[in-house]
Amino acid sequence: MGASSSTESNLMAGLQRNLSKIVVAPSFAASLFFVYGFILWTAWMAFSKSRMMPVYDWAGLRQYERLWQMERWHVAIENLLIFGGLFIVICLFLGCLLAVLLDQRIRAEGVLRTIFLYPMALSFIVTGTVWKWILNPGLGLEKMMHDLGWASFKFDWLVNSDFAIYTVVIAAVWQASGFVMAMFLAALRGVDQDIIRAAYMDGASLPRIYFGIIIPSIRPVFLSAIVVLAHLAVKSFDLVIALTGGGPGYSSDLPATFMYTMAFQRNQLGISAASAMMMLATVMAIIVPYLYSELRGGKKNG
């Protein structure tokens, strides 16, 4: 009896010890397979001759060559640069400005903070759809201005192929700047109030205090915000789909919508996979140095 109960208790103890590992194992396996497995599979596809259906014969860099010859891919890349650049810069600027204003200990701060942060809680689809209505010349802002008697008002960016990408910027900024604000506000609140008082007594004006002392001293937050915004920009997909559908024509295509179109509408699985790998490389180029510096920084501090 002693022997059997001791093996049983050994088993239980082993189970106890490894319980967390056992619980995590399925999701770990799933993410290993569905995320990293499919990354590898996509990488393989990009070197294959796949068109409509996946095939596994080696084609070398052929798909990448075809990708970089496509006018549409160039439009998507150019759009990404415009969109990403403006999105990041405007979000940082607005987020920072809002945070500084909210940092003045105004009365309605709690309410305002929530209002600014709410857009982040929405899905990009919702944001896209709402902004599609607002920016639609026949429905939204333009019509409202006309109804109010401002007949010459014109705001047709949504349907103008030269400007459609900027509407994506507007919607994305609306969604993400509150989040950036929250990041900055947290950092500003972490700044010792005595520093502000000291600078004040030194005779510095409020803008000088912020731009000369406080904002430079929260530089790490800028880096974090840029990384978050940059990867949001690169993977932007649903917003474009909901807002412009990549149109007019393919004038507001981004790499992600390009990839989707190639894979599921144009039967160009290989090109699609190649474009996906280009995006992965871009994100890695942003994230890896960041993580590296974070981890190294952590070690230095620890």
Q: Which residues contact another protein by CB under 8 A?
A: 192, 194-195, 197-204, 208, 213, 216-217, 219
Task: Specify the residue, 61 or 195, whose C-beta has the smaller distance to another protein.
Answer: 195
| Minimum distance from residue 50 beta carbon to another protein (Å) | 53
Kindly provide the b/e burial profile for residues 262-298, where b requires at least 16 CB atoms within 10 angstroms of the residue's own CB. Answer: bbeeeebbbbbbbbbbbbeebeeebeeebeeeeeeee
Joined tokens for residue 214: 């406080």
**Strand, coil or helix: what is 58?**
strand
| Minimum distance from residue 195 beta carbon to another protein (Å) | 5
| Minimum distance from residue 200 beta carbon to another protein (Å) | 6
| Minimum distance from residue 222 beta carbon to another protein (Å) | 12
Task: Specify the residue, 9 or 205, whose C-beta has the smaller distance to another protein.
Answer: 205
Task: Specify the residue, 123 or 205, whose C-beta has the smaller distance to another protein.
Answer: 205
Spatial separation of the C-alpha atoms in residues 94 and 39, rounded to whole Å: 35
Task: Specify the residue, 20 or 104, whose C-beta has the smaller distance to another protein.
Answer: 104
Task: Specify the residue, 217 or 251, whose C-beta has the smaller distance to another protein.
Answer: 217
Q: Which of 59, 73, 35 lies closest to 266 in space, CA to CA?
A: 73
| Minimum distance from residue 192 beta carbon to another protein (Å) | 5
Sign of CA dihedral 272, 274, 277, 279: negative
Task: Specify the residue, 83 or 222, whose C-beta has the smaller distance to another protein.
Answer: 222
Tell me whether the omega of the peptide bond preceding residue 216 falls within 30 degrees of 0, making it cis.
no
Spatial separation of the C-alpha atoms in residues 287 and 290, rounded to whole Å: 5
| Minimum distance from residue 43 beta carbon to another protein (Å) | 43
Task: Specify the residue, 160 or 224, whose C-beta has the smaller distance to another protein.
Answer: 224
Q: Which of 219, 220, 126, 127 lies closest to 173 in space, CA to CA?
A: 127
Task: Specify the residue, 219 or 299, whose C-beta has the smaller distance to another protein.
Answer: 219
| Minimum distance from residue 179 beta carbon to another protein (Å) | 25
Spatial separation of the C-alpha atoms in residues 99 and 290, rounded to whole Å: 24
| Minimum distance from residue 99 beta carbon to another protein (Å) | 17
Kindly provide the b/e burial profile for residues 56-91, where b requires at least 16 CB atoms within 10 angstroms of the residue's own CB. Answer: eeebeebbbeebeeeebbebbbebbebbbebbbebb
Largest CA distance in the chain: 94
H runs (alpha helix) in the chain: 2-31, 38-46, 62-69, 71-102, 109-121, 124-135, 141-147, 164-190, 193-201, 206-209, 215-217, 219-234, 238-243, 255-264, 269-301
